[in-house]
């Protein structure tokens, strides 16, 4: 993500007029119309494998990853378009199950699938566009962090990566209940719509992102776009107590929590005052660090085993699970 994709985003920004200033964000906010827009594409054997996710959960997840972007804006989602492209030999059961998943999650989040496109492809390719509304609040973005803000998250990290590990390597020695918990985290992520809205209401102008590309990626991007640094305490990052059963050693545990990706938790920064409101709000919100001035460069620092680990672009290049990873 931080490699060629950034270069490409710069190329795109240079090709489009100034007013297309949302390029590089995960959502666009059309102020005049109070619209929040997001679009994400999932491609077979790049973003998912048929062997590790059923059509039902694929339908749910295609919607969920886009809802997560609306959540990170603090918006309320309303309408979805789904462009589904498939090989000619796809069976009807795939389509029925896929749309059963789409329908279930759409009902749960009160959104309406209003259209899309159906075409042929070599791999299953799903492009979803979701429209939401600010409904009286200005959406959050990744530029809003301020020195002294608390860095907060909405849930556990590393669980999705652990689920993928179980799906790929079976791990029959792990108890069934624990296996299932991590598999669900991977195939059935929960978009944090309610949490995003609560954070936006409490904090007015929070920095907010989802951790779709990993916690370290979200922290790095907020630092970069806000031109500030962060002091994060690894011991404060929430993760499932059974994670070490799957990760097996401490280095993997550390990497999965920071770089595992696909956890779809929100990561943001809010004032101390807003944080106090949030801990009484009834949703899970946890402080993991503080925003500090960017002395040398705008990077997050993670306190881990009495050392400060600097998450700089070199480290991101080596570790991140990115679509353009080299």
Q: Which is nearer to a second copy, 45 or 272 (CB)?
A: 45
Span near a second copy by CB under 8 A; candidates 3-11, 143-151, 262-270, 278-286: 3-11
- Quote the least distance from Cβ 189 to a second copy, whole Å: 17
- Contacts (CB under 8 A) with a second copy, residues 118-137: 118-123, 125, 127, 129, 131
CA-based radius of gyration for the chain: 19
Q: Is 35 a residue that touches a second copy (CB under 8 A)? A: yes
Segments of 134-206 assigned E as strands: 150-153
Which residues does residue 82 pair with via DSSP β-bridges, in sequence order? 116, 128
* Given 51, 92, 169, 241, the residue binding a second copy (CB under 8 A): 92
- Quote the least distance from Cβ 21 to a second copy, whole Å: 9
Q: Which is nearer to a second copy, 81 or 138 (CB)?
A: 81
- Residue 252, C-beta contacts closer than 8 angstroms, at least 6 positions apart: none
Q: Is 96 a residue that touches a second copy (CB under 8 A)? A: yes
Sign of CA dihedral 11, 13, 16, 18: negative
- Contacts (CB under 8 A) with a second copy, residues 293-312: none
Residue in this structure with the two tokens 């498939």, named with its chain if needed: 86
Q: Is 43 a residue that touches a second copy (CB under 8 A)? A: yes
Taking the C-alpha atoms of residue 138 and residue 161, their distance in angstroms, rounded to an integer, is 33
Q: Is 238 a residue that touches a second copy (CB under 8 A)? A: no
Contact status, residue 309 vs residue 233, Cβ threshold 8 Å = no
DSSP class of residue 141? B
DSSP class of residue 140? P
Q: Residues 117-132, buried b or exposed e (16+ Cβ, 10 A)?
A: eeeeeeebbbbbbbbb
Interface with a second copy (CB under 8 A): 4-5, 7-9, 11-12, 14-17, 19-20, 22-23, 25-28, 30, 35, 37-41, 43, 45-47, 79, 81-83, 85, 88, 92, 95-96, 99-100, 102-103, 106-107, 112-123, 125, 127, 129, 131, 323-324, 326
């Amino acid at each position: 993500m931080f490699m060629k994709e950034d270069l490409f985003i710069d190329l795109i920004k240079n090709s489009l007029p100034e007013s297309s200033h949302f390029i590089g964000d995960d959502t666009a906010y059309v102020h005049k119309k109070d619209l929040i827009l997001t679009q994400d594409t999932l491609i077979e054997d790049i973003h998912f494998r048929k062997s590790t996710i059923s059509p039902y959960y694929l339908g749910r997840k295609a919607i969920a990853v886009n809802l997560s972007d609306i959540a990170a804006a603090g918006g309320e989602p309303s309408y979805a378009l789904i462009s589904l492209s498939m090989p000619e030999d796809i069976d009807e059961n795939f389509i029925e199950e896929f749309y059963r998943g789409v329908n279930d999650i759409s009902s749960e989040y009160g959104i309406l699938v209003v259209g899309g496109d159906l075409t042929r492809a070599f791999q299953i390719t799903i492009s979803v566009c979701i429209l939401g509304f600010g409904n009286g609040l200005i959406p959050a973005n990744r530029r809003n962090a301020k020195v002294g803000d608390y860095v907060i998250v909405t849930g556990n990290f590393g669980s999705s990566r652990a689920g993928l590990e179980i799906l790929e390597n079976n791990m029959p020695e792990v108890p069934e209940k624990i296996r299932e918990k991590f598999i669900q985290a991977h195939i059935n992520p929960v978009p944090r719509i309610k949490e995003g809205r609560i954070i936006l209401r409490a904090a007015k102008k929070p920095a907010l992102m989802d951790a779709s590309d990993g916690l370290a990626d979200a922290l790095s991007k907020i630092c970069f776009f806000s031109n500030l640094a962060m002091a994060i305490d690894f011991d404060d990052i929430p993760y499932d107590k059974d994670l070490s059963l799957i990760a097996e050693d401490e280095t993997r545990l550390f990497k999965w929590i920071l770089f595992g990706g696909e956890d779809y938790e929100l990561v943001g920064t809010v004032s101390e005052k807003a944080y106090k409101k949030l801990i009484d709000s009834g949703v899970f919100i946890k402080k993991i660090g503080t925003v500090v001035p960017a002395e040398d460069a705008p990077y997050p620092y993670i306190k881990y085993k009495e050392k400060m680990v600097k998450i700089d672009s070199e480290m991101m290049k080596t570790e991140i699970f990115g679509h353009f990873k080299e």
